[in-house]
């Protein structure tokens, strides 16, 4: 899945660190990231260069726009994402005033393709992860990080062996993939997540 990230030129090292966290989070999830930041190239992304035109939008699956610093380009990329009905995450640092660019939406409902989030340095990766979970048809590759011991019966072990025999899928991966599919289809759980995130 190909995503485009834009962050305006800034001398604020904390914002630049935020840019790098955004790109790193996208790359860790297996996204192909095109980056335009008007600053020193961000590690991990394919930089399209300062002042370069946006990539062909029909080849982009979604956009992430960091708008803590108000520039015409922020509005441009936000408008392009909305006009193309591309899933768009608009991020801005809490207290930066970045929400002002959204005033044009006051009189109409927020487009369903737009997610806006204020973030802090400690929550930026989480906000990006939540956005990726909303992308249609995108398989976000979350890295397993929690060790969990599960005792199973011999009949369950035989079933897992049957399902994974002569495949390249391990029993643990099979179980993870099965649970991920259940999560995607569990409407009650999805409603709970939306409520938790204030969506």
Model pLDDT for residues 156-180, shown as the tens digit of each residue: 999 999 999 988 888 988 998 898 8
- 139 inside domain: no
| Structure tokens that stand for 75 in this block | 């509005």
Q: Same domain for 129 and 161? A: no
What are the pLDDT digits (tens) for 61-85? 889 999 888 788 888 888 888 888 8
Q: What is the pLDDT of residue 105?
A: 53
Q: How far apart are CA 67 and CA 101, in angstroms?
A: 8
* 8 Å CB contact between 79 and 54: no
Q: How far apart are CA 71 and CA 65, in angstroms?
A: 11
Instruction: Give the domain range for residue 183.
Output: 154-197
Q: Same domain for 129 and 180? A: no
Q: Same domain for 35 and 111? A: yes
Number of domains in the chain: 2
C-alpha pair distances (Å), 169 with each of 60, 158, 162, 176: 30, 15, 12, 11
C-alpha pair distances (Å), 124 with each of 20, 53, 106: 10, 26, 25
What pTM does this model have? 0.61
């Amino acid at each position: 899945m190909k995503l485009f990230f834009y962050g305006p030129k800034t001398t604020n090292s904390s914002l630049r660190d935020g840019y790098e966290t955004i790109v790193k989070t996208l790359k860790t999830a297996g996204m192909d990231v095109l980056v335009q930041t008007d600053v020193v190239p961000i590690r991990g992304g394919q930089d399209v260069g300062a002042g370069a035109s946006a990539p062909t939008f029909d080849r982009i699956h979604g956009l992430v726009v960091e708008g803590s610093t108000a520039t015409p380009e922020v509005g441009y990329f936000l408008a392009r994402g909305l006009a193309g009905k591309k899933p768009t995450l608009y991020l801005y640092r809490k207290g930066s005033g970045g929400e002002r660019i959204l005033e044009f939406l006051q009189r109409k409902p927020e487009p369903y393709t737009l997610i806006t989030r204020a973030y802090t340095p400690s929550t930026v990766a989480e906000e990006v992860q939540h956005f990726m979970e909303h992308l249609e048809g995108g398989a976000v590759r979350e890295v397993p990080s929690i060790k969990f011991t599960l005792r199973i019966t011999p009949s369950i072990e035989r079933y897992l062996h049957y399902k994974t025999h002569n495949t390249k899928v391990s029993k643990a991966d099979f179980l993870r993939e099965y649970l991920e599919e259940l999560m995607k289809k569990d409407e009650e759980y999805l409603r709970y997540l939306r409520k938790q995130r204030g969506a």
